[in-house]
Amino acid sequence: MKQQIGRHLSFVECRESQGLGIGGGLAQRATISESGKDVVVIAMGPGRRHITKPVCEITYALREEGIDASVLVVNAGSGVPTDAPDVTTGTRFGLDPLEVERIRQYKVALIHLGNVRNHIIYKARLILRNVDMPAIVVTQCPVDFEDFASIGVKTRDVMPDPENVGTVGRIEEIVTGVVRGVTCPQDKLDEIVSKLQKIMPKGGKE
């Protein structure tokens, strides 16, 4: 049961360049749509393989619950980081200094990373290596805390060996089964909202 009945007003400062698709669609890569400084939703750049449709539905659900959610569409969102073992793809995932600074302005990161397990865990490691904040990872394929901890990512339930810790940020929650390119089921939206509310810091960010 929703907490609010009726309309809830949000101001969204959107976006640096023209969107993609009929009616605008998701912003192109290297753009940010800002709405407050609570949550930043990190999305891969849209393309034939990187279908980011659930991102807009997730941010709408968060704002419906009174959570300010901004969207950062990563410029180099395809492929894998250079230090990942699977570097057979022609492109490289990365963050530029401006994107890192933008992410650091928020309290929580919600990271939407797609459907290839090896890509997901190494992309999350790169992001959380650069930003010290709690994070939720939203994926299509099944992953767990052990998958991330095995490559040095700090998580809520499983920590890497002290000598292998490779991140400053930490994964607090994981939501799987969010399929790209199709409408996100209400139960998944509710799960994301519920898990996010549990880890939101109390009070303002210093």
- What is the chain's pLDDT, residue by residue, as a tens digit (206 residues)? 344 445 444 433 334 444 444 334 444 444 556 667 889 998 876 554 455 678 888 988 998 888 888 888 886 555 666 667 765 555 666 688 888 999 999 999 999 877 888 888 988 999 999 999 999 999 999 999 999 999 999 999 999 999 999 999 999 999 999 988 788 999 999 999 999 999 987 754 44
Question: What integer pLDDT is reported at residue 43 of this predicted model?
Answer: 83
Token readout for 185 is: 């089921």
**pLDDT score for 19:** 46
CA atoms of 188 and 192, how far apart (whole Å): 6
pLDDT at residue number 87: 58
Q: How far apart are the first and last CA of the chain?
A: 33
Give the closest residue to 172 by CA, choosing from 151, 190, 189, 148: 148
Which residues does 10 contact at the CB level (< 8 Å), separation at least 6? 35, 63, 68
Per DSSP (E only), the strands in 68-199 are: 69-73, 108-112, 134-138, 154-155, 170-175
